[in-house]
């Protein structure tokens, strides 16, 4: 009688593909950044501002995830940044396999950073590793200061919390202290950046930190 | 030999429970409203403003859906409105069964309108009927004017589109024409209301229309 071999899969299929993606990016010394946020929090604007700030020093590529449309990819492409648009149809998050196809379509030897802009959603994307090194959530001031308490999963899981649209603080009810405390209650290790993609305020601190991460990746 | 009876289920389990919920509300002449939106678009604020505007004329009850916390239910309860909080844990939308338990816990004979505030998410909630009569999506100005194109599923499915935070228009890049056109491209029949829960601007048009719907329900 033949012995039946049982292989226990510790990782699910998505995580295995995510590991392959991580290997692909590592081989090319590319820093992978998974950008997650509510709809309209400023994911594409952050990519564009970051590319502008790092122009001539670091080369950026982008994967855009949306249910439909290529509005974001068009914005990125018009800034001369290599970009692949993924339309998920109804899916509320990106997955590693779809991202792998997009990674392979990008000019990897020419890139230092790959931004993967996830579908606008504070819940589902966090369950799916894509092969990124750094996970970022962008919160924005008009969404309110209670978001960490309401969406603890994502605020717990990320390496970086970016608070965007700081220029709108005078016009909305928002307590910066409450926001900071909400993040810190869930996540002591996350880096926090407070900025405005519209005014440019605070962008430099973020891009300097990001640049240091790219250099660490190349060592 | 016994004849095998085959019953084809056209509706899925959720839809069947949603029909029960609809019956429950109809029996009590309650108008059920499913409120959907991105995180922080102003769902709870709209409920509070609507309750204030209709005070003394119509009686409101609320079901609050969140991943975690009872921040919203506390806000609603402090305005003396009957409210049940549902914490979905990780689930990115409400479902009819959970909502049924909440409906049964509310003082139905004392209500004219039931607001069901869904989890903050522009994607998943639209797939799940809850027993509502009216489906509303709230978009907000700082989220940008491209949301209909990016989240066509929800903008196509709703009866009402509310554009909130109109008071922030001077401080952000937002084209009201582009927003209106995006909605109309997908959905000709939806009612549109442009308002600000913060300033109160435009609330009356919405509450007058809502009142007319309640009276139609009681006929």
Chain A interface, mutation test: which of B142, B167, B181, most A Cβ atoms within 10 Å? B142
Q: Do A142 and B147 touch (CB under 8 A)?
A: no
Mean pLDDT for the stretch of residues A6-15: 72
Q: How many other β-carbons are positioned within 10 Å of the β-carbon of residue B58?
A: 18
Does the pLDDT value for residue B48 go beyond 70?
Answer: yes
Q: Do A40 and B142 touch (CB under 8 A)?
A: yes
Mean pLDDT for the stretch of residues B125-142: 97
A99-152 pLDDT tens trace: 999 999 999 999 999 999 999 999 999 999 999 999 999 999 999 999 999 999
pLDDT at res. A219: 79
- Domain boundary assignment for chain A: 13-218
Six-digit token string for B20: 């029960």
Give the mean pLDDT of chain B: 95
How many angstroms separate the CA atoms of B72 and B84, rounded? Answer: 10
Secondary structure (DSSP) of B150-190: H-HHHHHH-SEEEEE-GGGGGGS---HHHHHHHHHHH-SS-
Q: Does A149 touch chain B (CB under 8 A)?
A: yes
How many angstroms separate the CA atoms of A155 and A73, rounded? Answer: 26
Q: How many other β-carbons are positioned within 10 Å of the β-carbon of residue B167?
A: 18
Q: What are residue A18's phi and psi, to 5 degrees?
A: -60, -40
Q: Do B150 and A92 touch (CB under 8 A)?
A: no
* Distance in Å, alpha carbon of B140 to nearest chain A alpha carbon: 9
Task: Tell me the whole-structure pTM to 2 decimals.
Answer: 0.94
Distances (CA, A) of B137 to A71, A165, A182, B161: 21, 23, 27, 5
Mean pLDDT for the stretch of residues A26-42: 98
Whether residue A202 contacts residue A196, with contact meaning beta carbons closer than 8 Å, is answered with yes
Q: Which residues pair with A60 in a beta bridge?
A: A113
**CATH of the domain spanning B29-218, picked from 1.10.150.170, 3.40.980.10, 3.40.50.300, 3.30.365.10:** 3.40.50.300
Residues 6+ apart with CB under 8 A from A166: A141, A194, A195, A196, A199, A201, A202
Whether residue A82 contacts residue A62, with contact meaning beta carbons closer than 8 Å, is answered with yes
Whether residue A154 contacts residue A44, with contact meaning beta carbons closer than 8 Å, is answered with no
For residue A4, what is the DSSP state? P
More confident position, A1 or B88: B88
B61-107 pLDDT tens trace: 999 999 999 999 999 999 999 999 999 998 999 999 999 999 999 99
Does the pLDDT value for residue B9 go beyond 60?
Answer: no
pLDDT at res. B6: 58
**CATH of the domain spanning A13-218, picked from 3.40.630.30, 3.30.465.10, 1.10.3720.10, 3.40.50.300:** 3.40.50.300
- Which residues of chain B from 51 to 90 reach within 8 Å of chain A, CB to CB? 66-69, 71, 90
Look at residue B191 and give its three-state secondary structure. Answer: strand
Q: What are residue A100's phi and psi, to 5 degrees?
A: -60, -45
* Distance in Å, alpha carbon of B128 to nearest chain A alpha carbon: 14
Q: Indicate the range of A8-17, A23-32, A94-103, B179-188 predicted with least confidence.
A: A8-17
Task: Return the number of CB contacts < 8 Å for A and B.
Answer: 108
Q: Do B168 and A165 touch (CB under 8 A)?
A: no
Give the mean pLDDT of chain A: 95
Per CB-CB distance under 8 Å, the chain B contacts of A144 are 40
What sign does the CA torsion over B63, A153, A177, B39 have? negative
Q: At what angle do helices B13-27 and B96-104 cross, to 10 degrees?
A: 30
How many angstroms separate the CA atoms of B29 and A143, rounded? Answer: 34
Per CB-CB distance under 8 Å, the chain A contacts of B150 are 39, 66-69, 71, 120
* Distance in Å, alpha carbon of B26 to nearest chain A alpha carbon: 32
How many angstroms separate the CA atoms of B143 and A48, rounded? Answer: 17
A-chain residue closest to B168, CA distance? A171
Smallest Cβ–Cβ distance between B124 and the set A71, A92, A146 belongs to: A92
Six-digit token string for B157: 């499915």
Does the pLDDT value for residue B164 go beyond 90?
Answer: yes
pLDDT at res. A8: 54
């Amino acid at each position: 009688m033949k012995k039946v071999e049982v292989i226990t899969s510790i990782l699910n299929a998505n995580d295995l593909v995510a590991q392959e993606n991580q290997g692909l990016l590592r081989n090319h010394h590319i820093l992978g950044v998974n950008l997650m946020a509510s709809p309209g929090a400023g994911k594409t604007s952050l990519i564009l501002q970051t590319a502008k700030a790092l122009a001539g020093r670091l080369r950026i590529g982008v994967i855009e995830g949306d249910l439909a449309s290529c509005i974001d990819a068009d914005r990125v492409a018009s800034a001369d940044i290599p970009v692949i648009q993924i339309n998920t149809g109804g899916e509320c998050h990106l997955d590693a396999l779809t991202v792998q196809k997009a990674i392979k379509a990008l000019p990897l030897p020419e890139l230092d950073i790959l931004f993967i802009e996830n579908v606008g959603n504070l819940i589902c994307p966090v369950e799916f590793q894509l092969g990124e090194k750094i996970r970022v959530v962008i919160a924005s001031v008009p969404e309110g200061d209670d978001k960490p308490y309401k969406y603890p999963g994502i605020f717990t899981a990320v390496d970086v919390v970016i608070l965007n649209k700081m220029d709108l603080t005078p016009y909305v009810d928002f307590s910066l202290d409450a926001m900071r405390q909400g993040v810190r209650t869930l996540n002591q290790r996350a880096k926090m950046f407070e900025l405005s993609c519209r005014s440019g305020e605070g962008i430099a601190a973020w891009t300097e930190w990001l640049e240091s991460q790219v250099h660490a990746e190349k060592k």
